[in-house]
Structure 1
């Protein structure tokens, strides 16, 4: 059965993408909101030659993408982005007083776009597909000490009951690209090693094994850390 969809509330399909490729492009893969700043910005561009898009944006908690976070607002929350044009989303912290001051807090920025219905399509049965992207939003408190690189260098890799364990004593989120144990890819650790936390993998580990972590820095680049030998 063919469907005609003309609004966000009646979407028949929605894709999760690292970047909106079909017309609307997000200018970065992550946003670091510095606590001392009044806002953080995110650029959007419609590279389509003739189709405008309706764009809706909001912030959600990292652990629950289905709800809107109370800590931030995005302006404009809903707008039309014409073909071959750009716009800036302003992410504004409105209720961050309760967030920890000694570590980063992690959220998602969600951007949903749907192409406009042309005059010809008004008389046809067509399927309008909304494209949705999510990128990480790191809220970094003003007085947080250290750096992400220092946090990675200070990760404590160890053997815990014969299994791989890693402890992050810093206030920074470490986003994992890959972990190699003796040149074998570990597929068990979560994507993010959260601040002041310890994670354990099911992968067997013994003293003398070598670990190489590749992580994603603030600019979205993959960085390979120095190898670590477990003692």
Structure 2
């Protein structure tokens, strides 16, 4: 009987997840930390849709090691109560910037976990409580980094290598891709982020007669579609 009750509440939690998630919202889809600034900020709000306060915990982790906290940053306040119809501002502070590259962006993840409070009635029942986590990208941008993200997108080098698609990013910026169309057909297997100075090799078939169109995320978190990459700009 207990197993049936537990299964019921787990299933109920899944169905209620979108409504719970609507309670706490972050104010951006990405954060760019300029190295010449003392900090970067992110607004967190409780819309009050579900009428309950949340306990909010925040931390920075590595992009490639998402389970490891990044020692290069701290967030204040790291833990706080967020009442319905209220907001707070997270301050991201660099504590070990001297360890980060000065000629390219460093990519991290900013994590915000929200735990809903339980009413006295819920505490007396067999209710499954779910903590919801929002994760967005955190870019640490050195002060003397040359160029811009727009320039970096224009400089992406798309190549045919053994009949497969590769792309090289010669810039110091991280380029976040959301979609790749080859001859108006969606193609997968391309990494989400083309990191500075990196080359992404894929299993996507490609010919010189093919036309590429890709979409990327700009500085403000909007999706931008590129102009078609003509065959003459694809290098063998």
Same fold, TM-score > 0.5, yes or no: yes
User: Secondary structure of 2:152's partner?
Assistant: helix
Q: Which moved more, 1:119-128 or 1:135-144?
A: 119-128
Specify the alignment match of 1:40 in structure 2: 40
* Alpha-carbon distance in 2 for matches of 1:186, 1:94: 40
Measured in 1, the distance between the counterparts of 2:121 and 2:219 equals 44
Larger relative contact order, structure 1 or 2 (CA cutoff 8 Å, min sep 6): 1
Q: Deviations over 1:207-230 (max 9, x none)?
A: 232111110111110001111122
Judging by fraction of residues, say which structure has more strand: 1
Number of the residue aligned with 1:61 = 62
1:65-214 to structure 2, matched below 5 A, reads 65-214=66-215
RMSD, aligned CA: 1.7
Total equivalences in the alignment: 218
- Per the TM alignment, residue 26 of structure 1 is displaced from its structure 2 partner at its CA by 0.6
4+ residue segments displaced more than 3 Å? none
TM-score normalised by the chain length of structure 2: 0.88
1: distance between equivalents of 2:173 and 2:63?
15
* Mapped partners of 2:22, 2:153: distance in 1: 35
Deviation at 1:112, TM superposition (A): 0.5
Deviation at 1:198, TM superposition (A): 0.7
Secondary structure at 2:96's aligned position in 1? coil
Counterpart secondary structure, 1:106: strand
CA distance in 1, matches of 2:227, 2:213: 7
* TM-score where L is the length of structure 1: 0.90
CA distance in 2, matches of 1:152, 1:211: 13
Higher helix share: 2
Q: Any unmatched runs of 5+ in structure 2?
A: 7-12
Provide the rounded CA distance (Å) in 1 between the counterparts of 2:158 and 2:42. Answer: 35
List per-residue Cα deviations over 1:64-85 (Å, max 9, x = no partner): 1111100000000011001110
Cα distance between partner residues in 1 of 2:46 and 2:119:
16
Which consecutive unaligned segments of at least 5 residues does structure 1 have? 4-12
- 1:102-148 Cα offsets, whole Å, 9 max, x none, are 11000000011111111222222211111111000000111101000
Shift of residue 164 of structure 1? 0.6
TM-superposed CA distance for 1:35, in Å, is 0.8
Structure 1 distance, partners of 2:100, 2:168, is 22
